[in-house]
């Protein structure tokens, strides 16, 4: 069979179908994000074949949109560790707890997955210049992979974005523009600039092209492969734009349809911060989409998204899997950055630490049982957010002698 089983792109709202061999944005009929569709009947490989391939996300190439290996833009991304967390599990009251550590990816966050696949497909289809708004990590990732692919990249980022992601963007040749506002303000500036560009710039904002989500869904592929081709009971995911959660749901559904997995999908949990929780509020109301969150603010900068374009797809995934949505405080998630670091030696990003706080809450409520297997997504390296752990170094005594604490 061919390298990719990509068939078309379809609108999940109005079901309009699009030719996937051209650059695509939103649905031209209703403005919805488009999702890639695959001819799963044409996929002739199975898990045993996958196991013999290189340990990167391209091992799943039949279920990715790039048509041939020569179009792949890669820095070795994928197959991040799925780490057991026994001490943290005991602290929370669980028998089995795993952390999928996306901080090990080339640009330090899960955004490398979406950028690798999105840039590869954009270049294959003829894009030369791309532009996107970002809270930080996506800008660094798309700039990095854009440099690898020899594409021009403009990144529009809130002025409060983490300094390290700003440095990553500039270091890899991205044209960084800062805006005094939120990612929603950056998005409006990008949309206006693209509209004036007469097609010279390709907008790769979250879900405004169909292939970022395809890269993100490989998190699901890896989790089940690392568990021996079985699904956990619960997956807990920090949710801003929600592309990763949408991708996890899409990827698992495809594997079930292929027959590689059996049984019900894991219950998906969307975690947000109390200072920006539009998905949580919509879920609690039983709504099918969210309302913009006013005055959004949280130290977990990656999930500070007042209104996600794909919110209806996030909520659909929660309802379909019997999942839920939880908001935690900044104090809770920052406390768990320290707790997990001290207990497990994992320096989680604030967004990843929010999943710990949410899991604790759900165990306390009885929504998660002690005997259930839970996977937490740490979506980035804690090193990107040094401010999350203030350091107060003790001073030496006047005579230069360091006194160690008593044991």
pLDDT tens track for 309-345: 999 999 999 999 999 999 999 999 999 999 999 999 9
Q: What's the mean pLDDT in 228-250?
A: 98
Six-digit token string for 233: 């009971």
22 CB contacts (<8 Å, ≥6 apart)? Answer: 125
The closest alpha carbon to 169, from 356, 161, 68, 282, belongs to 161
- Supply the pLDDT for residue 407: 64
Q: Give yes or no for residue 138 having a pLDDT over 80.
A: yes
Average confidence score pLDDT of the chain: 96
Q: What is the pTM of this model?
A: 0.96
Q: What's the mean pLDDT in 145-151?
A: 98
pLDDT tens track for 72-100: 999 999 999 999 999 999 999 999 999 99
Q: What's the mean pLDDT in 371-394?
A: 92
Q: Which domains does the chain have, with CATH numbers?
A: 82-108+212-386 (3.40.50.1100)
Q: Give yes or no for residue 406 having a pLDDT over 80.
A: no
């Amino acid at each position: 069979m061919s390298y990719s089983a990509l068939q078309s792109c379809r609108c999940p709202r109005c079901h309009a179908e699009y030719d996937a061999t051209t650059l695509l944005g939103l649905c031209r009929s209703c403005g919805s994000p488009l999702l890639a569709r695959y001819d799963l009947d044409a996929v002739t490989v199975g898990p045993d074949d996958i196991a013999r391939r290189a340990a990167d996300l391209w091992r799943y190439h039949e279920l990715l949109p790039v048509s041939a290996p020569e179009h792949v833009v890669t820095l070795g991304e994928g197959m991040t560790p799925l780490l057991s967390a026994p001490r943290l599990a005991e602290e929370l009251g669980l028998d089995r707890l795993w952390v999928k550590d996306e901080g090990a990816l080339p640009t330090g966050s899960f955004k490398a997955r979406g950028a690798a696949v999105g840039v590869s497909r954009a270049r294959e289809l003829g894009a030369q210049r791309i532009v996107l708004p970002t809270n930080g990590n996506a800008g660094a990732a798309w700039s990095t992979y854009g440099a690898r692919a020899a594409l021009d990249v403009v990144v529009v980022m809130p002025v409060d974005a983490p300094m390290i992601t700003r440095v990553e963007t500039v270091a890899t040749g991205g044209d960084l523009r800062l805006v005094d506002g939120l990612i929603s303000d950056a998005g409006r500036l990008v949309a206006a600039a693209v509209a004036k560009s007469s097609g010279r710039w390709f907008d790769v904002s979250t879900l405004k092209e169909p292939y970022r989500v395809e890269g993100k869904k490989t998190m699901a592929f890896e989790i089940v492969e690392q568990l021996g081709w079985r699904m956990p009971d619960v997956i807990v995911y920090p949710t801003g734009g929600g592309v990763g959660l949408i991708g996890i749901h899409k990827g698992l559904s495809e594997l079930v349809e292929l027959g590689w997995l059996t049984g019900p999908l894991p219950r998906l949990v969307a975690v947000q911060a109390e200072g920006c929780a539009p998905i949580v509020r919509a879920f609690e109301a039983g709504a099918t989409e969210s309302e913009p969150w006013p005055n959004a603010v949280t130290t977990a900068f990656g999930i500070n998204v007042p209104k996600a374009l794909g919110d209806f797809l996030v909520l659909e995934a929660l309802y379909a899997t019997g999942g839920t949505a939880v908001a935690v405080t900044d104090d809770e998630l920052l406390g768990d950055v320290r707790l997990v670091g001290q207990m497990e030696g994992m320096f989680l990003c604030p967004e990843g630490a929010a999943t710990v706080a949410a899991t604790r809450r759900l165990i306390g409520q009885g929504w998660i049982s002690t005997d259930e297997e839970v996977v937490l997504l740490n979506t980035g390296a804690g090193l990107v957010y040094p401010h999350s752990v203030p350091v107060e170094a003790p001073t030496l005594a006047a005579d230069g002698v360091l006194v160690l604490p008593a044991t």
